[in-house]
Amino acid sequence: MERRVLLTGFDPFGGERINPALEAVRKLEGRILEDIGVRVVAQELPTVFGKSIEVLAQAIEREQPEVVICVGQAGGRTHITPERVAINVNDARIPDNEGQQPVDEPVVEGGPAAYFSTLPIKAIVQAMRDAGIPAMVSNTAGTFVCNHVFYGLMHLLHTRSAGVRGGFIHIPYLPEQVADRPEPSMALETIVRGIEIAIRVSATADADVRVTGGTEC
């Protein structure tokens, strides 16, 4: 039976014309990693509270993946950052793509305060660094649609798809997004290489590595 890894990326938001997450997962759509027996499938998600989780749930039901990796843009970050934890709160600094701007609302009413990623995030970071790609563990996915989807994903897997690994990875801007302002960025080909590494590690690692990934603040 074919092993599948589901990647998701958001459409552009916040006035941007492109979203590096969507551009990267499109590059990986349909890729077959023959050495580990994995096919990559990609799904675009709307940057919309509620609807994004609905589309994600449909994709998981359709594709029946063994790993789900959601990818999102984190402007201002210098590294590819696998996220450690999703929290049960929507608190939007800006409206989503349908004008919704929830404040202090739960992602899932009555759900737990948080879910940890089930991806081997430290092994992913270590493998990316070994390949010369800037990477580090992140301990906050924010409170916008990225965290919303991350929490929604983990709740779906916890309640409906036990045994499926899942988590979220944030990536920097692309150079063309910040050509007129002094913000960090990363080339698309580097991001794509990093995500492919994350796929390989997530699909093959039996457990995460025990190395430091914390921060002081």
Which residues form the catalytic set? 83, 146, 170
Q: Six-digit token pair at 212?
A: 């430091």
Of 14, 15, 10, 21, the closest CA to residue 174 belongs to: 21
**Partners of 69 in the β-ladder:** 7, 167
Nearest to 138 by CA among 49, 185, 74, 206: 74
CA 26 – CA 60 distance, rounded (Å):
17
State residue 208 phi and psi, 5-degree precision: -75, 160
* Nearest alpha-carbon partner for 82 in 213, 173, 181: 213
